[in-house]
Chains A and B, each alone.
Chain A
Amino acid sequence: MILLGKIALGIVGTAVAGVGLLCSEGMIEVKVVERAPEVHHVYVIAPAMLVPIGMHFAPRRDLSHAAAEIKPWLPTIRAALEQLRDTDDVTLVEVKEEGQHVRVTKEGGSIVVDVEDHDDTVHVSTPIRAISSTIEQLAAADPST
């Protein structure tokens, strides 16, 4: 019985470690509310680490084109993400039009995009660390490196 308990403890510990590792880059949150033609609610929250992990399984050939295009801008993107990580929370861009509202903010360790118009409301929150990891995965897919 004690042996079973210890095995269970080991499994729980491993599970906690796994969850901790999986959540180490924060969570991606996507919320979409469609108001027309029908009302739909979509809410997804997933560990951000899944994105760079998923990049490993994406076809190399498809990624190489994107990697080549992004290559000249990698230093700029890296510098921007590094500075964004360190900066205070800030609304980076806000655009308001009649019936439309777009906002890009830095909140905590995440970049948050909120879009609202007559028909839809979209909220996407992505941890900066996950963006960095994904960009590095993409950069690594460049065949010339």
Chain B
Amino acid sequence: MRKRLCGLGMICVLAGLAVTALAALAVTAPAAMATPTERYLHVKVEDASKGESVNVNVPLSMAEKILPTINKGEMHNGHVKIGHADMDDVDIRALLDAVRTAPDNEFVTVKEKDQDVRVAKSNGNLVVHVRDASKGGQKVDITIPMKVVDALLSTAKDNELDVSAAIRALSDAGDALLVTVEDASQHIRIWVDSKGSQE
């Protein structure tokens, strides 16, 4: 009887220690096992006039896994449907295919009194610059790696964009400043790097 009780007591103690150790492992293990090369999509919106700022940091691996699970509206399985009406019957796929195969060049330059628009291909990036003096000197700069553009169009259907593939391509691309929008008071930046914070 004594031996049994002793054995039972020891088993309970060992079980307790094992459960405690497992609990500690469960809490600390995910951080230790995290991949060191995680990349993040950062969005920073600042409004100096109101003293407001919004920072969003999304791990690209998370975005890549989440997007295919969203099936609502025009979004399904990581693809977004683009209506022909929205494109005014412009064959965007053919257009971007032409840009991709063309050498580095300036494709569109529009200069008006208050506006200046430039679309170019430079160092494997699709570059768009817009300057609008009528909107408080608004400046928009967009730089999208052509690999990301290719990935967007990698779906078989004409009226769909493969956002998941684009996110994957973005993960493989280097650090990049994708979008900046500046006007008199607001400043928006979207970029990709491997830092978990915007410090």
* Chain A residues within 8 Å of B, Cβ to Cβ: 2-3, 6-7, 9-10, 12-21, 23-26, 72, 75-76, 78-80, 82-98, 108-109, 127-129
**Can you list 10 residue pairs at the A/B interface with Cβ under 8 Å?**
A9-B13, A12-B13, A13-B12, A13-B14, A15-B16, A16-B13, A20-B16, A24-B22, A92-B56, A97-B52
In chain B, positions 1-55 with a C-beta closer than 8 Å to chain A are 2, 5-6, 8-23, 26-28, 30-31, 33-36, 38, 40, 50-55
Among candidates A13, A79, A95, residue contacting B66 with C-beta atoms closer than 8 Å? A79
Q: How far is the CA of A94 from the CA of B55 in the complex (A)?
A: 5
- Are B19 and A6 interface neighbours, CB within 8 A? no
Residues of A within 8 Å of B56, CB to CB, are 92-94
**Assuming A72-B72, A97-B50, A109-B30, is B66 touching A20 (CB within 8 A)?**
no
**Assuming A15-B16, A17-B16, A109-B27, is B5 touching A3 (CB within 8 A)?**
yes
- Beta-carbon nearest neighbor of A80 in chain B: B66
Q: How far is the CA of A2 from the CA of B1 in the complex (A)?
A: 12
Q: How far is the CA of A78 from the CA of B70 in the complex (A)?
A: 12
Q: How far is the CA of A98 from the CA of B70 in the complex (A)?
A: 35
- Are B19 and A21 interface neighbours, CB within 8 A? yes
Stretch at the interface among B57-65, B97-105, B114-122, B135-143: B57-65
**Assuming A2-B2, A93-B56, is B35 touching A86 (CB within 8 A)?**
yes
**B83 interface hit (Cβ, 8 Å):** no
Q: How far is the CA of A70 from the CA of B71 in the complex (A)?
A: 14
- Are B38 and A87 interface neighbours, CB within 8 A? yes
Q: How large is the interface on B (under 10, 10 to 19, 20 to 34, 35 or more residues)?
A: 35 or more
**B155 interface hit (Cβ, 8 Å):** no
**Chain A's nearest CB lies how many Å from the CB of B40?**
7
**Assuming A86-B33, A92-B56, A95-B53, is B15 touching A17 (CB within 8 A)?**
yes
Q: How far is the CA of A109 from the CA of B51 in the complex (A)?
A: 33
Residues of A within 8 Å of B9, CB to CB, are 6-7, 9-10, 13
**Assuming A9-B9, A127-B27, is B54 touching A94 (CB within 8 A)?**
yes
- Are A91 and B55 interface neighbours, CB within 8 A? yes
**B124 interface hit (Cβ, 8 Å):** no
Beyond the given A10-B9, A89-B196, could you list 6 further A-B residue pairs with CB under 8 A, ordered by the A residue number? A9-B13, A10-B12, A26-B27, A86-B35, A90-B197, A108-B31
Q: How far is the CA of A3 from the CA of B1 in the complex (A)?
A: 9
Q: How far is the CA of A79 from the CA of B35 in the complex (A)?
A: 17
Residues of A within 8 Å of B26, CB to CB, are 24-26, 109, 129
**Chain A's nearest CB lies how many Å from the CB of B171?**
13
- Are A20 and B27 interface neighbours, CB within 8 A? no
Residues of B within 8 Å of A3, CB to CB, are 2, 5
Q: How far is the CA of A98 from the CA of B53 in the complex (A)?
A: 10
